[in-house]
Amino acid sequence: MNAESASSAYLSEASDLSTTAVGGISTTQYSGGRVDGIVNGLALLDDRFKCATVTINCTGTRLHPVGTITITFDPSCSDKRGVKRSGSIVINYNGRRWMPGSYWTIQFVNFYRNDTHIEGKDSVSTQISADSLHLQFQSILTGGQITFGDGKTITRVHNITREWFRASIPMNDEWHNLKGGTATGKCKNGDTYQMQITTDLIHKVSCLEDKVFIPVSGTKVITVTTLTTTDQYTVDYGDGSCDNNITVTLNGKVKTITVNGEGD
């Protein structure tokens, strides 16, 4: 069960960084039509970019932007949470920024977070919420795999829609993984899991300061299948406080546990 939470946290980081990169690039660079070069200033929006060089290569036109954004990390550099990243995240985008129907793909290239190797391809399409107030992004992840320093792996595929609640200060942004999203994968010990979001899962950007990469409220159901049993866990992420504690219910028994980043 912890494997599902850990895999979600590791793989959703690329979505956060990609959204910041797409949003932080000037209109001229994003849709200028073959205007290439280095993108500056993203570290002011997100500290994780202080250890990265971001470049853009435009191949489209002003009316139909197409291009590639590459985030390349310096392996000798740590962010203020002590995390080192290496390798690249490559974003291929198509369409006008934040317009329904535009889309991009996120691909990991030899990407490590500390000694953890992260792989997969995330295809993201832009849409608008029913009340037309917030942007939504449908994320379809394929080939997701996390390999830890001990050589053990977690796998993941998912189909999740994320809604972006933008604040005047980016640090106060929220991301809501909407009810109905699903994920499947395999745990480090070979057990399989299925996940369904039953109440919107809310991520707060401000909680990253406290090394909290999981949701801070919302619920989901995780079904874990072993060689001999199938167990269904209900996971409650709490009241919105920035912590790594979750409340788990199994067969009527309730337990509070602290999620770690190793998928154990």
Phi-psi region of 60 (alpha: psi -120 to 50; beta: other; left: phi over 0): beta
What is the residue type of 63? Answer: L
What is the DSSP code string of 9-58?
HHHHHHHHHHHHHHHHS-HHHHHSSS--EEE--GGGT-GGGGGEEEEEEE
Q: Which two tokens stand for residue 138?
A: 């449908």
Q: Please tell me the predicted confidence (pLDDT) of residue 253.
A: 94
Helix, strand or coil, per DSSP, at residue 122: strand
What is the residue type of 61? Answer: T
In the numeric block, the tokens 């199938």 are attached to 230
| Predicted confidence pLDDT, tens digits, the chain (264 residues) | 677 877 888 888 888 899 889 988 888 888 875 556 888 889 888 889 999 999 999 888 888 999 999 999 999 999 988 899 999 999 999 999 889 999 999 999 999 999 999 999 999 999 988 887 889 999 999 999 999 999 999 999 999 999 999 888 888 999 999 999 999 999 999 999 999 999 999 999 899 888 888 899 999 999 999 999 999 999 999 999 999 999 999 988 999 988 875 555
**φ, ψ for residue 76 (rounded to 5)?**
-90, -5
Mapped to the 3 state alphabet, what secondary structure does 195-250 carry?
EEEEEEEEEEHHHHHHCCCCCCEEEEEEEEECCCCEEEEEEEEEECCCCCEEEEEE
Q: Please tell me the predicted confidence (pLDDT) of residue 40.
A: 87
The Cα–Cα gap between 74 and 206 comes to 24
The Cα–Cα gap between 7 and 144 comes to 8
Q: Which two tokens stand for residue 190?
A: 């070979």
